[in-house]
Amino acid sequence: MNEIKDQSIQIFLDELASKNATPGGGSVAALMGAQSAALTSMMCNLTIGKPRYAEVEAEMQTLLQKSEALRKTLTDMIKADVDVFNRLMATYSLPKTTDEEKTARSEAIQSVLKEATEVPLNCARACAEAIALSRIAADKGNSGVVSDAGVAVLAGYGGLKSAALNVYTNAAALKDRAFADAKLAELEAILKGVDKGVEEVYKIVKAKL
Amino acid sequence: MNEIKDQSIQIFLDELASKNATPGGGSVAALMGAQSAALTSMMCNLTIGKPRYAEVEAEMQTLLQKSEALRKTLTDMIKADVDVFNRLMATYSLPKTTDEEKTARSEAIQSVLKEATEVPLNCARACAEAIALSRIAADKGNSGVVSDAGVAVLAGYGGLKSAALNVYTNAAALKDRAFADAKLAELEAILKGVDKGVEEVYKIVKAKL
């Protein structure tokens, strides 16, 4: 199969809707984040070079570099979610007849579950960065297209809260509670203040329309 | 150019990030809505036929029909946003030398602006329906994949609030204030109670993880 990012949007949506386990919500979270970063890039590209925005030119150049790097990271995460999910499913299929097999299977599941907790945690972190970047675009970018910064913040928020659900799901299945609690604490730190921050950006955007 | 839905995700993201005016936030809004509907369909497809969920089988079949029809509607809206934007840009390029030309140009702009207000309003309405459908999936669908219903509600919410921004933008440029106010009133009716509703679905999902 082609990597998801090389599939058409129609085929991605068809496969999403199907009863196949992948792609699923984790890929949608990453794609929402990637769309957020792309819209911030668009805001930069529609600001850079405009005489009216000469004062923020350098800042927009820096923002564009960050949003483009982040877009690549988040686009790669569409696949990362599928990969770790498939590996997790494979461990569940390991033999479990003898006691040795049962132990080996359980250890394999727990090992991949740790990765399956970290993948959406990384996605959440990247989406939080996408939100932060969209705020700069909303504040300083071309006000003629500021609604795109508003969509960027909402897409980033959707991605972040979606990724969080997958962290909760996989952390709940972990036996290593110290590891799980550490990851959940990282997630809560990422989520802290985000609701309020997103609302603020939305208001900044709406006031400029 | 191919229709956007037939382009790869990578190309869509590249074009989104570029300085081309389309695709932009309006297409992202519709795509978020389409992803929401697709995830509700996935929840249905992973619930239907499972003995444990025999009691909700008929309801899930009905939900799937609705979510698949809505997915098609929202997928088509990715293109509708680009089309109306391009038509709007074309009216701005009309000649404006003579008084007659100025009048004709202004009338053409105002006429397409009405459509450009209705396109995101329709997207907002469809996203609100996607949110409502995701709630049924969260309540009654296979609890083993309930996080996908959580992502569905978040994607629908992102789509709705994003589409709203485009309604505000285009309504603000309308000279026919009675028309604009009627459309804004429709939008407010769609938005009413949505924040609270989405938070409720998110809590339902989180409690089941």
Supply A202's token pair. Answer: 């939305």
Pick the CATH number of A23-207 from 3.40.50.1000, 1.10.150.120, 1.20.120.680, 3.30.420.40: 1.20.120.680
Interchain proximity A35–B13, CB inside 8 Å = yes
ipTM over 0.85: yes
Q: How many CB atoms lie within 10 A of CB A100?
A: 9
| pLDDT grade for B113, boundaries at 50, 70 and 90 | very high
| pLDDT grade for B1, boundaries at 50, 70 and 90 | low
Distance from CA of A42 to the nearest CA of B (A): 4
Supply A173's token pair. Answer: 């299945």
Q: How many Å apart are CA B101 and CA A57, to the nearest integer?
A: 37
pLDDT tens, B132-146?
999 999 999 999 999
Q: How many Å apart are CA B110 and CA B174, to the nearest integer?
A: 6
Supply B143's token pair. Answer: 């609890």
Mean pLDDT on B6-24: 96
Residue B101: its H or E element:
helix B99-140
pLDDT tens, A74-116?
999 999 999 999 999 999 999 999 999 999 999 999 999 999 9
pLDDT of amino acid A2: 72
Instruction: Check if A39 contacts B (Cβ < 8 Å).
Output: yes
Given a cut of 90, whether residue B187 has pLDDT beyond it is yes
Distance from CA of A73 to the nearest CA of B (A): 12
Q: What percent of chain B has pLDDT over 70?
A: 100
Q: Which of A25, A38, A202 sits opposite B151 (nearest CB)?
A: A25
A193: left (phi over 0), alpha (psi -120 to 50) or beta: left
* Structural domain spans, chain B: 23-207
Supply A145's token pair. Answer: 């297209």
Counting one residue from chain A and one from chain B, the pairs whose CB atoms sit within 8 A come to 182
Instruction: Check if A19 contacts B (Cβ < 8 Å).
Output: yes
| pLDDT grade for B21, boundaries at 50, 70 and 90 | confident
pLDDT of amino acid A1: 53
Distance from CA of A27 to the nearest CA of B (A): 10
Closest C-alpha among B5, B82, B18 to residue A38? B18
Neighbouring residues of B32: CB distance < 8 A, sequence distance ≥ 6: A32, A35, A154, A155, A158, B127, B155, B156, B158, B159, B162
Taking only the tens of pLDDT, chain A with its 209 residues reads 579 999 999 999 999 999 998 999 999 999 999 999 999 999 999 999 999 999 999 999 999 999 999 999 999 999 999 999 999 999 999 999 999 999 999 999 999 999 999 999 999 999 999 999 999 999 999 999 999 999 999 999 999 999 999 999 999 999 999 999 999 999 999 999 999 999 999 999 999 99
Q: Which of A6, A35, A169 sits opposite B16 (nearest CB)?
A: A35
pLDDT of amino acid A21: 86
Shortest CA distance from B163: residue in chain A: A151
pLDDT of amino acid A26: 97
pLDDT tens, B40-88?
999 999 999 999 999 999 999 999 999 999 999 999 999 999 999 999 9
Interchain proximity B9–A165, CB inside 8 Å = no
Given a cut of 90, whether residue B109 has pLDDT beyond it is yes
